Every structure is written in structure tokens, then in C-alpha cells.
């Protein structure tokens, strides 16, 4: 069920609970949007340069995963993690080559497993953690709140692409 009220989720400090509420709302809408999709629909490529819906779903999971690592563990992906998630992070030719021939259940499980870890870790954080500042290697500052805002905006943006691809498939 999709909740249309943003409020602090139980078990979290207020601002983190509000963030959780937004993350969960965005995910519920994404899951509703992809419900019942076939493998053929998930693998469909509009052009030879586009991303499939399956690739976009795995990208959503990968972006959340890398933001877990950056914000909770203060590091970047290891080589092993990049070997697993790299095609989904980067998409493009690698994504088109590697992310296909998987049923909807695969993507649902990946999204659920990553989100489960996010929710577990966010329960251990206080509101001050949201505002902790760090610096990218290029010298640009960011805070954890921004990282998790980016997880939201990335999912919402790619859900728009998913909707566009679904419309295109419906009218071809």
C-alpha cells in the first residue's frame, strides 16, 4: 500500500524518520509501476543506446548500495563490489550486455535486500549524522542528507524513464 503522508517513521529520529518515509513512498510507487512486468518488457531496449527497465531497476538498487557504503562505512566500493554492481552503476554498453534475461523477481529481491540494509543502518543513526560533512576527492563538500536525497532523486528520475519506456512499448 502506498502511503501519501510524509511523517517520521516509527523507530527513527524525526528527520531520519521523514527521510525513511520518503524513501519508502518512492519505492512503493516504483514497485507499483513495475508490477507484473514480463522479462521481455524488462529487457526491452527502445534504441541500441537506451537502458532497459531491468537495467534501470538494478541501477536504482546499485545507487542505493553505493550510498550505503559511502555514508555508513565512509568508503567507496571495493573491487569485488564493483565487479558485482559496476554494470548497474555505469549502465551504458556494459549494462546492456550484462543486465538482461532476468525475471522481475530478481530485481524485486535486489531492491528489497538493499533497502533492508538501508533501513537497518538508518535505525542506528541520529539526526546529527545527516548533517555530517565530508569531502569528495575533488574537494567538493557534501553531507549524508544530500547523499540520501540523491538516492531519492535518482529513483524518481529513473522511474520517469521507466514510465516513458512502458508508454512506448504500449504504443508500438
Instruction: Report the mean per-residue pLDDT for the chain.
Output: 95
pLDDT at 121: 98
Whether the predicted pLDDT of 74 surpasses 80? yes
Instruction: Tell me the per-residue pLDDT of 153-169, one tens digit each, with 9 for 90 and over.
Output: 999 999 999 999 999 98
Average pLDDT of 126-146? 95
Which contiguous run of DSSP H or E holds residue 133? strand 133-135
Which CATH number is 14-170's, of 1.20.120.450, 3.30.465.10, 3.30.460.10, 2.40.50.100?
1.20.120.450
Q: Where are the domains of the chain?
A: 14-170
Whether the predicted pLDDT of 137 surpasses 80? yes
CB atoms within 10 A of CB 9: 20
Take residue 153 and report the three cell numbers written for it. Answer: 532523486
Q: Is 167 helix (H, G, I), strand (E, B) or coil?
A: helix
Angle 144-31-129 from CA coordinates, rounded to 5°: 15
Instruction: Tell me the per-residue pLDDT of 116-128, one tens digit each, with 9 for 90 and over.
Output: 999 999 999 999 9
pTM: 0.95
Instruction: Tell me the per-residue pLDDT of 76-123, one tens digit each, with 9 for 90 and over.
Output: 999 999 999 999 999 999 999 999 999 999 999 999 999 999 999 999
DSSP string, 4-33: ----PPTTS-HHHHHHHHHHHHHHHHHHHH
Q: Could you tell me which of 46, 64, 67 has the C-alpha nearest to residue 163?
A: 46
Amino acid at each position: 500500500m502506498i502511503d501519501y503522508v510524509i511523517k517520521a517513521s516509527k523507530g527513527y529520529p524525526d528527520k531520519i524518520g521523514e527521510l525513511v518515509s520518503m524513501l519508502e513512498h518512492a519505492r512503493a510507487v516504483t514497485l507499483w509501476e513495475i508490477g507484473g512486468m514480463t522479462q521481455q518488457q524488462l529487457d526491452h531496449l527502445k534504441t541500441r543506446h537506451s537502458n532497459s527497465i531491468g537495467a534501470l531497476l538494478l541501477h536504482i538498487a546499485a545507487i542505493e548500495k553505493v550510498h550505503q557504503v559511502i555514508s555508513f562505512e565512509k568508503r567507496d566500493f571495493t573491487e569485488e563490489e564493483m565487479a558485482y554492481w559496476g554494470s548497474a552503476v555505469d549502465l551504458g554498453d556494459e549494462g546492456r550486455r550484462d543486465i538482461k534475461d532476468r525475471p522481475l523477481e530478481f530485481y524485486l529481491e535486489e531492491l528489497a535486500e538493499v533497502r533492508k540494509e538501508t533501513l537497518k543502518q538508518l535505525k542506528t543513526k541520529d539526526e546529527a549524522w545527516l548533517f555530517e560533512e565530508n569531502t569528495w576527492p575533488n574537494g567538493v563538500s557534501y553531507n549524508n542528507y544530500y547523499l540520501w536525497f540523491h538516492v531519492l532523486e535518482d529513483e524518481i528520475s529513473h522511474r520517469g524513464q521507466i514510465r516513458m519506456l512502458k508508454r512506448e512499448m504500449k504504443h508500438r
